[in-house]
Structure 1
Amino acid sequence: MENKKPDHLFLFLEIFAQEGGIQSYVKDVLRAYKKLNYQGQVFVLRDKYPVDDDLVGGNLKFEGFADSSLMLGRIRFMVSFLLFLIINRPQRVFCGHIKLGAITRLFCGFLNIPYTVLTYGKEVWDTLPPQQRQVLNDADQILTISRYSCDRIYQSNKIDKDKIDILPCVVDADKFTIAPKPKELIEKYNLQNNQVLLTVARLWSGDIYKGVDVTIRALPTILKTYPDVKYLVVGRGDDQPRLKKLTQDLGIEDQVIFAGFIPTPELVSHYQVCDAYIMPSQEGFGIVYLEAMCCGKPVLSGDGDGSADPLQDGRLGWRVPHRDANAVANACIEILQGNDPRCDGEWLREETVKKFSLQMLDKRLTKLLKN
């Protein structure tokens, strides 16, 4: 197997340089690939080397092209990509972002190698420029993470729906578990005798759609019924000063805790310390909802996005208009009352794992690679 030429080439913008839903999803896909009887090569434009030990070695090799000179890094990436295709002639190229589509289409078209484009959410929901639409039209296959994203790609860009396959996000049920609220976090954030709402999200000004500001605006109404509620916000970004000022303007700065960046291994305990996960967003899927429900926590999402899949069309959680603070407040009050079946933590975990386990991803990827 050591001398066997790679079967597949994967191209990504970044996997390890930042943490987020897309990066987490990509890592899960690559871990699933490592269990299969294929040889793969991964080129990552903005990374230097993999930092996750379980992704290193075996049937998957990595090469990063991050460079102090962005132009030099791009040139090395493109030259290595073309040489790899010429020398190895892989069965398929997996283009991990539409931004890498033009070069993928050019090189794969020239050498008659089929390619698949991975899509996630907002980057393909609206009508794309002609060049990017051509990338999707010429692709042999398009993978996306939810029914909603599939429909938006089709409706906005008139792509042949038969070539779009869904490869959903999943959750590691061995990692995300139900447990008592961690005492160390209760002490750290001063949460004694508090009910806790949680959001895990980037706080970038370009990601206002995550809905942290909407949840903050909902808090005064929630506090009238549940005055002991605190809102724990995990994440960092340039929008944090605006959000902090909003809490001050509303007079609720003592009820909102900005925890900043939390490393992935510590996220589980943050889910466990909350009473509900609240993110009225517009997601391509929303892996955070899976993680919260796997920890037995009720969830709230937006109602016009890919969260329909993890929440199973509202069967497992509350879906509300994503910019409606009153709707968020009313739903949060229902959740905190705890009378709805969707507040049953053990049931939430069981129903989530049935459909979105790592094992389900293994089976789905195996099937897609055989087609």
Structure 2
Amino acid sequence: MPQNHVFVFLEIFSCEGGIQSYVKDILRTYSQIDTLSADIFLLRDRASVGNPFASERSRFHYCKDRSPRLGRVKLAIALFTHLLKHRPDRVFCGHILLAPLIQTLCKPLGIPYTVLTYGKEVWEPLPSGKQRALQNADRVWAISRYSCDRACAANGIEPNKVDFLFCAVDGSVFQPQAKDSELLRKYQLDNCKVLMTVARLWSGDPYKGVDVTIRALPQILRVFPDVKYLVIGRGDDQPRLAKLAEDLGVSDRVVFAGFVAAEELPKHYCLADAYVMPSQEGFGIVYLEAMACGVPVLSGDADGSADPLQDGRLGWRVPHRDPDEVAIACIEMLKGEDQRCAAEWLRQESLAAFGKPAFVQRLKELTGL
């Protein structure tokens, strides 16, 4: 008889991001395993036509309401009713914001629950209610060793109750290809060495490293005068970043591409000679996407990127707010002499650890299959 699981998420379809990508990988894997059955409750999503994950074994329950408060009430009632009637084998709490509700409903019924964690939302001490919900969870999933360490230290979680489910990349989607001539013309990148970042440009989280990379450009230009920096993403921090480039005299070297649809990302990655994001990430799926395309990568050295970059074996890790160190690493990457610039080796090594088959196998292990 299939294991019956319940997932509760904030949203999957109403916005895009690293968390949503990770969640979709989990649901996609579930749909491929005959011995698993799941009910998925969504707080902020409405029923969507053509949901690719919906099936007889993956049933979706949408709780969005015009009033956020009523939406939360609707979720609580629907979930409690389902738990009473079906007594699932386990509930997976998809965000720390939902953890107090899950604890309240599951503990009296004796239903074990797992809390999924991603990054910064659990790196600092949480309010007491959320902290208790984490501490009382039967298991906690983390996407990186760094996030696990930070969450455990800040919130009193026993490390032995934490399991790792790292992010994954689809090597059949992200793969090396020739630079697209139309995109080269569109962004005026012909005959240029190209640095690239894919990131949300949000003033509330300015530490993706775009500003640091812009500050590094004058030094890089002294060695590679033909370099350009392609920034993919949108957000309210773009005017500040554009002003910084202007103040440093490198505005003609920085190209803000704006939003790029997910299906267009692989050929954008392949425009790059180096992927540069000296950031603080819970994990950093973008590093895997770049490496699967054969593009060398640079990350910060104090975050979850240690896992996709395998502690520096697959890429450059530098102090994330240091333009000088970023410049030095970028110059090495653009020279292309290091093993970490070997496109086929880079792709092979990253997919071996973080390709979709490895993700499926790990999820089977965590669900006891």
**TM-score > 0.5, shorter chain as reference:** yes
Match of 2:296 in 1: 298
Whichever residue aligns with residue 30 of structure 1, its letter is L
**Which of residues 188, 191, 197 in structure 1 aligns to 2:189?**
191
What SS class does the counterpart of residue 139 from structure 1 fall into?
coil
User: Aligned-pair distance for 1:221?
Assistant: 1.1
Q: Tell me the residue number matched to 2:174.
A: 176
Residues in 1 aligned to 2:154 and 2:68: alpha-carbon distance in whole angstroms: 32
- Structure 2 counterparts to residues 142-291 of structure 1, below 5 A: 142-291=140-289
TM-superposition CA deviations, 1:317-371 (whole Å, max 9, x none) = 0000001111111110110011111000000000011111111111111111118
Alpha-carbon separation, structure 1, partners of 2:271 and 2:56: 37
Offset at residue 314 of structure 1 (A): 0.2
Q: Which amino acid aligns with 2:178?
A: P
Q: Does 1:23 align with 2:20?
A: yes
Does 2:9 align with 1:12?
yes
Distance 1:22 1:355, change over 3 A: same
Could you tell me which amino acid in structure 2 is paired with residue 143 of structure 1?
A: W
User: Aligned-pair RMSD on alpha carbons?
Assistant: 1.4
Q: 5+ residue gaps in structure 1?
A: none
Distance in structure 1 (CA, Å) of the matches to 2:25 and 2:48: 14
Shift in Å, 1:160: 1.0
Q: Provide the residue aligned with 1:80 in structure 2.
A: 78
Aligned residues: 368
Partners in 2 of 1:43 and 1:159 — Cα distance?
Answer: 26
1:53-132 equivalent positions in 2, closer than 5 A: 53-132=51-130
Match of 1:325 in 2: 323
Letter in 1 for 2:295: K
Whether 1:35 and 2:40 are equivalent positions in the alignment is: no
Instruction: Confirm or deny: 8 A CA contact 1:34 1:59 kept in the other structure.
Output: yes
| TM-fit CA distance, 1:58 | 4.0
Residue 16 of structure 1 contacts residue 51 of structure 1 at CA under 8 Å; is this kept in 2? Answer: no
Separation of aligned partners in 2, 1:48 and 1:267: 26
Q: Secondary structure at the match of 1:149?
A: helix
For residue 289 of structure 1, what is the amino acid of its counterpart? Y
Q: Partners of 2:77 and 2:142 in 1: how far apart?
A: 28
- After superposition, the Cα gap between the structure-2 partners of 1:145 and 1:189, relative to the gap in structure 1 and judged at 3 Å, is same
Q: What is the TM-score with the length of structure 2 in the denominator?
A: 0.97
Quick one: distance in 2 between partners of 1:349 and 1:223? 28
| Structure 2 counterpart of 1:367 | 365
Are 1:171 and 1:290, in contact at CA under 8 Å, matched by a contact in 2?
yes
Tell which deviates more after alignment, 127-136 or 109-118.
127-136
Shift of 1:51: 6.5
Farther-moved stretch of structure 1 (356-365 vs 298-307): 356-365
User: Deviation per CA, 1:230-271, whole angstroms, max 9, x where unpaired?
Assistant: 111111111111111111111111111111111110111110
TM norm structure 1: 0.96
Q: Secondary structure at the match of 1:154?
A: helix
Q: Percent identity?
A: 57
Q: What letter corresponds to residue 153 of structure 2 in structure 1?
A: Q
Contact 1:34 1:58 in 2 (8 A): no
**Structure 2: distance between partners of 1:51 and 1:254:** 43
**Structure 1's 14 and 193: CA in aligned 2 closer, same or farther, altered over 3 A?**
same
- Can you list the C-alpha shifts for 1:32-70, whole angstroms capped at 9, x where unaligned? 111112110111111113567532324211122222221
1:41 maps to amino acid: D
Contact 1:117 1:143 in 2 (8 A): yes
Offset from partner CA, 1:105-126 (integer Å, 9 cap, x none) = 1011121111000000111112
Deviation at 1:127, TM superposition (A): 1.8
| Contact 1:50-1:62 within 8 A present in 2 as well | no
Give the 3 Å change call, closer, same or farther, for CA 282–85 of structure 1 in structure 2: same
Separation of aligned partners in 2, 1:65 and 1:367: 31
1:81-113 Cα offsets, whole Å, 9 max, x none, are 111111111111000000000100101112111
3-state DSSP class of the match of 1:207? coil
How far apart are the structure 2 equivalents of 1:287 and 1:50? Answer: 26
Structure 1 CA distance for aligned equivalents of residues 56 and 26 of structure 2: 15
